């Protein structure tokens, strides 16, 4: 402080030791725990993602170099230039140095100019959109689900729609590897973002606008599933807007697609006949989850479900019944948050079925209905 510095107090020394030891321990734990690899994005699975990864690596290593130099300079100055007992005279009053100022203006300018140029080169490549993509899909984002319309060669007509977005429910965006897939993004409600971490990519889904991007999955990734989710806050159920990308070999994809088209063109199953209601069950929904995921009713007898939606207004739910293959057997209207209703379902033959919220076809809102 004033005229001459005191000797270091013991309490200061203890605190310094705590600070240094803890920071070193945390750093060691970071490396020893394998988290250093986490400073890099996961391995990319698309050609575009590979390019982003190469660019990331360059940016990252330049950043590490700058960090070490500058942070090192700070630490060095702090250790080297501490005031020692007996230093009463003022240090030399340096006011600046023009050459140094020019140097640390010009050198960073060159570095960022280089980063801009390589970023721009990568950008032109990954943002390129083909006029005639091999596969064209329209992803429709809605609060709080994804669905995928597979488009015909004209790029407009929908061949069929994959309504279930995740693989664990038998759905997901199935795409062939090794070919150029174009994804068109639309939404009828609020802003969402299509994000698959292993694509190293996201693009907003903006109402009133159609965003388009291309990707090609590396052939080696056939058979893999890559999870993704909405990355732009879209309301209460933002977190449950999950999706999966299922990479398939070209031939498998063609077979899957043909089966889907056939399914879409098939005549819908006859609606089960209504009759006198046997049992009445009670189901509630809260936080975009059913309160029970397993129901049982007697065979060949109509039944009812007293359904209460305890989510906030704006979050719609319903209960549909689907066959094991995903065909919708009985479709019920949605109710708003805070409302309740009684759904009456027609008789079903014995077997295993799925009851599901058509607005949120996610695991928490997909249960099994056993009819016996």
- Looking only at residues 6 through 25 of this chain, which bind another protein when binding is defined by CB under 8 A? 9, 11-12, 15, 18-19, 22-23
Task: Print the SS3 string covering 211-237.
Answer: EEEEEEECHHHCCCEEEEEECCCCCCC
351 binding another protein? (CB under 8 A): no
- Name which of 341, 343, 275, 353 is nearest 310 in CA terms: 341
Cis ω before 295 (30° cut-off from 0)? no
Q: Which is nearer to another protein, 82 or 130 (CB)?
A: 82
Compute the distance between CA of residue 308 and CA of residue 317 in angstroms, rounded to an integer: 9
- Name which of 38, 40, 41, 44 is nearest 221 in CA terms: 44
- Which range binds another protein by CB under 8 A, 91-99, 132-140, 169-177, 255-263? 91-99
236 binding another protein? (CB under 8 A): yes
66 binding another protein? (CB under 8 A): yes
Q: Which is nearer to another protein, 98 or 265 (CB)?
A: 98
The token pair that represents 287 in the structure block: 């936080």
Residues, the chain: 372
Compute the distance between CA of residue 66 and CA of residue 320 in angstroms, rounded to an integer: 57
333 binding another protein? (CB under 8 A): no
Query: Which 175-234 positions form the footprint of another protein (CB under 8 A)?
Result: 189-191, 193, 195, 197-198, 200-204, 206-209, 211, 228-234
238 binding another protein? (CB under 8 A): yes
The token pair that represents 300 in the structure block: 């060949």
96 binding another protein? (CB under 8 A): yes
Sign, CA torsion 109/110/115/119:
positive
Query: Which 116-145 positions form the footprint of another protein (CB under 8 A)?
Result: 116, 119-120, 122-123, 126, 143
Task: Tell me the closest approach of the beta carbon of residue 309 to another protein, in angstroms.
Answer: 13
Q: Which is nearer to another protein, 195 or 343 (CB)?
A: 195
- Pick the binder of another protein from 222, 239, 278, 334 (CB under 8 A): 239
Task: Tell me the closest approach of the beta carbon of residue 134 to another protein, in angstroms.
Answer: 22
């Amino acid at each position: 402080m004033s005229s001459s510095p005191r000797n270091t107090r013991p309490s200061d020394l203890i605190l310094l030791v705590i600070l240094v030891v803890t920071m070193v321990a945390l750093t060691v734990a970071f490396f020893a725990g394998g988290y250093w690899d986490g400073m890099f994005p996961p391995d990319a699975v698309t050609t575009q993602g590979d390019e982003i990864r190469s660019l990331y690596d360059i940016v990252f290593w330049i950043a590490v170099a700058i960090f070490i130099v500058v942070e090192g300079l700070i630490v060095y100055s702090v250790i080297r230039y501490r005031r020692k007992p007996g230093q009463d005279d003022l240090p030399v009053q340096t006011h600046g140095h023009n050459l140094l100022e020019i140097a640390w203006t010009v050198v960073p300018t060159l570095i960022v100019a280089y980063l801009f140029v390589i970023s721009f080169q990568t950008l032109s490549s990954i943002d390129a959109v083909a006029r005639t993509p091999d596969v064209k899909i329209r992803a429709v984002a809605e609060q709080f689900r994804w669905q995928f319309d597979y488009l015909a060669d004209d790029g407009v007509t929908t061949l069929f729609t994959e309504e279930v977005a995740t693989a664990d429910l038998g759905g997901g965006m199935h795409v062939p590897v090794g070919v150029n897939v174009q994804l068109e993004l639309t939404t009828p409600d609020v802003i969402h973002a299509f994000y698959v971490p292993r694509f190293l990519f996201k693009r907003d889904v903006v109402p009133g606008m159609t965003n388009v991007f291309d990707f090609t999955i590396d052939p080696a990734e056939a058979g893999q599933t890559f999870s993704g989710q909405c990355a732009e806050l879209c309301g209460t159920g933002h977190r449950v807007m999950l999706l999966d990308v299922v990479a398939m070999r070209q031939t498998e994809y063609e077979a899957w697609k043909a089966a889907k088209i056939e399914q879409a063109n098939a005549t819908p199953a006859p609606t089960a006949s209504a009759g006198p209601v046997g049992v009445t069950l009670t189901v509630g929904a809260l936080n975009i989850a059913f309160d029970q995921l397993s129901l049982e009713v007697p065979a060949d007898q109509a039944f009812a479900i007293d359904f209460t939606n305890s989510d906030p207004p704006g979050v719609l739910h319903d209960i549909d019944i689907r066959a094991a293959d995903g065909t919708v057997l009985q479709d019920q209207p949605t109710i708003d948050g805070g409302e309740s209703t009684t759904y009456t379902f027609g008789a079903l033959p014995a077997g295993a079925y799925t009851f599901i919220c058509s607005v949120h076809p996610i695991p928490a809102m997909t249960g099994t209905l056993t009819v016996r």
